[in-house]
Amino acid sequence: MRTITKVGYVKLVTDGLFLTGCFFLSMQLSGRGILESDIIILIVLLSGWYFSTKISNLYDEFRTETFVGELLLILQNVVIQVFIAGQLFFLLNQSNFARTFVLYYASSILIALIVKNYVTKKALLHYRQGGGNTRYVMFVGYNKITDDLISRIENNPHYGMKVLGVISNEENSSDFSYLKELEKFHNNNDNVTIDDIIVTSDLLNKDMLQGLYKCCESKGVRLKFVPNYSNYYLNRVQFQLFGNYPLITLRSEPLQQAHWLFLKRAFDIAFSSLVFLLIFSWLFPIIAILIKLNSKGPVFFKQDRWGENGKKFKCYKFRSMVVDSQDVKKSGAFNQATQNDPRITKIGAFLRKTSLDEFPQFINVLKGEMSVVGPRPHAHEHNLRTKDLIDKYMIRHWVKPGITGWAQVNGYRGETKTNEAMQKRIDFDIHYIETWTFWSDLKIILMTVYNMAKGEENAY
């Protein structure tokens, strides 16, 4: 969660005024009318908007955010407004007006903010193309990062930025040639307006950096740095303060933030409770009877698997194999389920094909050992064999394992016959961890339901 800029606060205030107008308009259109107590409802809604937009960074990166990007962020925050409004009407025992009000409120907010943002973007673009509100930028160092940033600025005039040149001793193919040597910049007294200097070079020594810093301070120029991690994914680098020191993490982890952990856990409990109430309550007895009729042994199969931070837990499944099945081969390797595996019972084959054998894992979710969505947990023996063979394997244990996951809905479920196939699964798991959003969880759940309905080739 980052600090809102000054321009961001202007947008926040104006959006708040639009929300207020839409609120009172919707009250009138819903037939309820306006009451004195409505000021409390409005304050709660505006407070909810402030905190949800701060978390989603709606008012951050004003210059570099696209119209479509802002539109998606607005949509997310409107959904939260709808949820808050619905709960407020329920608590106030005014649910008879809730549907009509929410319909008018959500529609009017979306229309008002979309039109306002579109007009604002167009007006600023026209103004900046005429030279207004422009920030003049210079780069120190020439490399791929410099090229990428210059291209981004040139291809997005709504940023309101203009590149003056590149300060670099290195040969470059750029059209910019303003003062090749850093020393010449220090001694240059030309009347050139420079707002920002962005350092992309990793070749500057301590003395050069100190000299550049003093020069920028004396000229009133803002000095900024882009860390050059050419061997890493720049969009995954995360910055935070550790005391007074900047701390750089090379992998982003959204689920390390308390508010997202709380949201994910609340969703896990709510979703699992609904599954138990609406599906498991009547489906469990049927599956239990079929398992008992088909073969001797318990209804549930419990297996040691690795959870968050590698902690072992008992994972529940409906038993789909005969009782004396062995998880470990004589060679010591983990005995994965294979196609036409003789250990699988007839009812077990059906349960595996439809993924119904995984349903008891909602018990693990309610116990806090698993999540609805996350990297699939592997058996203890499987982890011991694989962790030293597959690159970045242990990273998948940074979060709770899931009943379904990003790798599974992309075809990497069930048996992994080669190390290459396992590496693909791990790559998908890591991508999920680094790019997690609440909406991605909903997408994975919908994809899982669709795959269950059509059947999956690797489900055996």
Model confidence pLDDT, tens digit, residues 221-242: 888 888 776 555 555 666 666 6
- pLDDT above 90 for 271: yes
CB burial readout 432-455, b (16+ within 10 A) else e: bbbebeeeebeebbeebeebbeee
Contact (CB, 8 A) for 199 and 212: yes
Contact (CB, 8 A) for 67 and 136: no
Model confidence pLDDT, tens digit, residues 370-390: 999 999 999 888 888 888 888
Phi, psi at residue 319, to the nearest 5°? -65, 125
pLDDT of the residue at 460: 47
| Amino acid, single-letter form, for residue 312 | K
- pLDDT above 90 for 9: no
Model confidence pLDDT, tens digit, residues 306-315: 999 889 999 9
Cα 296 to Cα 222: distance, rounded to the nearest angstrom: 75
pLDDT of the residue at 201: 83
pLDDT of the residue at 300: 92
Between 459 and 227, name the one with better pLDDT: 227
- In which region does residue 390 sit, left (phi positive, over 0), alpha (psi from -120 to 50) or beta (all else)? beta
Q: pLDDT band for position 51 (50/70/90)?
A: confident
Between 148 and 268, name the one with better pLDDT: 268
pLDDT of the residue at 266: 93
DSSP code per residue over 137-163:
EEEES-SHHHHHHHHHHHH-GGG-EEE
Q: CATH class for domain 135-228?
A: alpha beta
pLDDT of the residue at 299: 92
Burial (CB < 10 A; 0-12, 13-18, 19+), residue 412, is: buried
Cα 338 to Cα 329: distance, rounded to the nearest angstrom: 13
Mean pLDDT of the chain: 82
Please report, for residues 80, 116, 221, the alpha-carbon distance to residue 20 in angstroms, rounded to integers and kept in the order given. Answer: 16, 15, 40
In 186-299 the beta strands, taken as DSSP E runs, fall at 196-199, 222-225, 238-242, 245-249
> What are the residues facing 402 on neighbouring strands?
371
Cα 205 to Cα 380: distance, rounded to the nearest angstrom: 49
Q: pLDDT band for position 160 (50/70/90)?
A: confident
Q: pLDDT band for position 32 (50/70/90)?
A: confident
Model confidence pLDDT, tens digit, residues 99-152: 888 899 999 999 999 898 888 878 877 776 676 678 888 888 888 888 888 888
pLDDT of the residue at 189: 63
pLDDT of the residue at 267: 93
pLDDT of the residue at 441: 93
Quickly tell me which residue has 């107008």 as its tokens. Answer: 21
- pLDDT above 70 for 60: no
Q: Tell me the percentage of the chain whose pLDDT exceeds 90.
A: 27
pLDDT of the residue at 1: 45
pLDDT of the residue at 436: 92
Domain range list for the chain? 6-129, 135-228, 258-454
